[in-house]
Chain A
Amino acid sequence: MDALFSLMDGFATALTPINLMWSLIGVTLGTLVGILPGIGPALTIALLLPVTSKLDPTGSFIMFAGLYYGAMYGSSTTSILLNTPGESGSIMTAIEGNLMARQGRGAAALSTAAIGSFVAGTLGTLLLTFLAPIFVKLALLFGPAEYFALMVLAFTTVSSLLGSSVTRGFASLMLGLALGLVGTDVLTGQPRLYFGQMSLLRGIDIVVVAVGLFAVGEALFMASQPHLRNAEILPVRGSLFMTRSEWSRSWKPWLRGTFLGFPFGALPAGGTEIPTFLSYTLEKRLSKNPEEFGKGAIEGVAGPEAANNAAVAGVLVPLLALGLPTSATAAILLAAFEQYNIQPGPLLFSGSSTLVWGLIASLYIGNVMLLVLNLPLVGLWVRLLTVPQPLLYGGIVLFSLLGVYSLNNSVFDLALLMLVGGMGFLMRRHDFPVAPCIIGLILGPMAEAQFRRALSISQGDPSVFLTHPLSASILAVAVAVMVVPVLVRRRQGARR
C-alpha cells in the first residue's frame, strides 16, 4: 500500500494553487488542440518546450500530462461534429459519432464520449498508480542488455503496428534512427553525419523534427489537397443528458474499452490507434443490434473513446517507470525530461517522487476538470471548429517558426525545419506513419548507449543479448511482433 501513501503525498503537491493552475492550463490547452484539427498534443508540447525550460519541472509536467489527457477528450468533439478526427486516436469515433450527429443525436454522442473518457481516464490512472511501482521493481532487474532489448521491442511494435504497412513503418523508424546519429558521439567525441556544419555537432533537436513533421508537413499536405479543406460542421442537437437506454448501452463498452486501451498503451504497442480499432470491432461483434453499426451506434462511440483515454494512462506507465516512450507524444515528454536533466525510470520514483506522484495525482484532478470542461461547456468549444482553415494553418506555422527559432536562436534550425517539413509532406503524401520516426530519433541514441554498454560489459561478445534470459525473451517477442502480422496478412491473402 506504499502507492497509496505516495499518492496522498502526490495530492498534497497537486492541490497547491499553483499546480492546480498548471493542471487547468494543461487540460484547457489540451481540449483546445484536441478540437482543432491539424494540431495535436505532440506538436503542442514540442512547441511549449522552449517556453517551459525555465519553469518548475513539476508544474510543467502536470501541465503536459493534462494536455495529453485533454487532447483525447477534445478530439472526440471534432470527430463527432466534423467527421474529421481531431487526433489519430479518434478515427473510429468519427464513424458512428458523426452518423449520430447527422441523426440529431450529436449531444448523446458527445456525452457518452466525455463520460466514457472520464471513466476510462480515471480507471486508467488508478491502474497507473498501482502498476507503475511494480514496473519500477521490475526495472531494477534490468541491465543494459535488457534495456536494449526493450527498446528494440518498442521499435518493432511502433513500426509494425502503426500505419498501413510494416515496410513503411520501418522506413519511418530508420529515418528517425539516422537523424538521431547526427552529432557528436558521446563516448568518443567523434562527429557523425555533420557534413562540415558546426550547428549539426550538437545533434538535431527533437522539437525541430516533431514540428517539421507534424506542423510543416501537415500544412503542406493540407494545402496540396483542396478537397480536404472544407468540411461540414454539424450543430449539437439533442439532450446532453443520456437516456436510460443510452446509459445501459454505454457502460459496458466504457469498461471494455478501458481494459483494451490500457494494456495497449502500457506494453510498447504503439499508443492509441490500435486499441480504438479493436474496441470498435469488439463492440460491433458483441452488440445486440449489430445492424445499427454503420448507422450511428452509441457503442461505437463509447468503446473507442474509453479505449483512447485508457491508452494514454497506459502510455505513462513505461514512460515514467522505464523511460520508454510508446507514442509520439510520449517521445516528446521524454525530451522534456531530458531538458530538465531528469532521467525517467526507477530513479525517478525515488529521486523525484514529488514530481512523479504530484503528476499522477494531478491526473485524477485533471479528469474531473475535463469532464466539466467538455460536457456543460461543449457549446463554447464547438465555436473553435468555425476557425477558418487559412487562419488555423497560418497560426500553426507561425507558432512553429516561433518555437523552433527560440530553441537556440538559430536560423540554421529554420533551414532544418524546412527540410524536415518537406520530408513530412512526402511521408504524409505516400502514407508513411510519422510516429516511428519521432520515437526512433529520441530512442535511437539511448538504444545505442545501452547497446555499447552491454557489449563493453561482455567484452565485445554479441551473444550477451541472447544468453540473458530476460533480454532473449524480450527480443523474441520483438521478432514475433514483426513477423506475425506479415504471416497473418499472407494467410488472409491466400484465403482470398
Chain B
Amino acid sequence: MKISGAGLAIGLGFMALAGLVAFDAASLQVPPSYARVGPQVFPYLIASGMALVGLRLVWEAVREPIRVHVQPVTDWKAVAMISVALAAQYFILKPLGFVFSALILFLTIAHAFGSRQYVRDLVVGLVLALSAYVGFRYGLGIGLPQGILKGLL
C-alpha cells in the first residue's frame, strides 16, 4: 500500500494548527462574567473542526494516495525565484522605493515564467511601476515609498 507523503503532511499540519488554536484559547484570561460564552468558545469549536479535518485527511492519505492536481513536472526553480523576490519586498520596499522594488519583482516573475526578452520586460515593468506610483501619488494622494527616487518624483 502506498501512502501519500504530501497528504499525510497536510493532515498532520492541520492537527498541529488545531493544537495551536486550542492552546491559544486555553491561555486567554476570561473575565468571570463571560465565563460561559467568552472569547474562548469559538476557538475551541474551530480547533475541534480542524482536528477532525486533519484526522480525515490523514485517513485519506493512508487509504488512497492524494489526488495531486499537477503533472509530474514541477518547476521548483520558478517557485523559489518568485518566493524569494516576494519575500525580499519586506526588506527592500522602503529603502529602494516602490518603483525599483516593484520592478525587480516584475522582472523576476517574467523570468520565472520563461521570458527571455529582457528589454521588453524592462520597458513594460518600468511603465507599470512608474504609472502606478505617479497615479497613486498625484491621482489618489496615496504616497508610496520614494526610496532612492526621493526628490526626483
A-to-B contact residues, CB < 8 Å: 50-51, 54, 164, 167, 170-171, 174-175, 177-178, 181, 185, 187-188, 190, 192-193, 216, 219-220, 222-227, 229, 388-391, 393-395, 397-399, 401-402, 405-406, 411, 414-415, 417-418, 421-422, 425-426, 428-431, 444, 448, 451-452, 455-456, 460
Contacts and interface: CB of A to CB of B under 8 A. Distances in A.
Contact of A397 (B39, B87, B106): B106
Interface in B1-21: 6-7, 10, 14, 17, 20-21
A226 B112 CA distance: 10
Contacts of B93: 401, 405, 411, 414
Given A167-B56, A181-B43, A223-B109, A414 B89 contact: yes
A418 B90 contact: yes
A174 B86 contact: no
A193 B102 CA distance: 31
Nearest 4 Cβ contacts at the A-B interface: A390-B115, A460-B36, A390-B113, A390-B110
Given A178-B17, A417-B86, A431-B68, A226 B114 contact: yes
Nearest to B69: A431
Contact of B106 (A171, A394, A430): A394
Given A188-B39, A225-B70, A393-B109, A398 B76 contact: no
B140 A51 contact: yes
B52 to A, nearest CB: 8
B78 interface: yes
Given A174-B14, A192-B24, A223-B75, 9 more contacts: A175-B17, A220-B83, A224-B74, A225-B73, A398-B105, A398-B129, A402-B132, A411-B93, A418-B90
- Of B82, B83, B144, the most chain A CB neighbours within 10 A belong to B82
B28 A192 contact: yes
Interface secondary structure of A, over-half rule: helix
A444 B42 CA distance: 9
A411 B140 contact: no
Contacts of B148: none
A178 B17 CA distance: 9
- Of B34, B42, B74, B98, the most chain A CB neighbours within 10 A belong to B42
Given A193-B24, A430-B6, A224 B70 contact: yes
Contacts of B14: 171, 174
26 contacts: A54-B140, A181-B43, A185-B39, A188-B39, A190-B28, A192-B28, A220-B82, A223-B75, A223-B78, A224-B70, A224-B76, A224-B78, A227-B73, A388-B115, A390-B121, A391-B115, A394-B125, A398-B105, A402-B98, A405-B98, A406-B142, A411-B94, A414-B93, A415-B87, A415-B90, A431-B67
Interface in B64-104: 66-71, 73-76, 78-79, 81-83, 86-87, 89-90, 93-94, 98, 101-102
A402 B79 CA distance: 21
- Of A164, A170, A390, A397, the most chain B CB neighbours within 10 A belong to A390
A225 B109 contact: no
Nearest to A451: B42
Contact of B121 (A164, A394, A415, A444): A394
Contacts of A181: 21, 42-43, 46
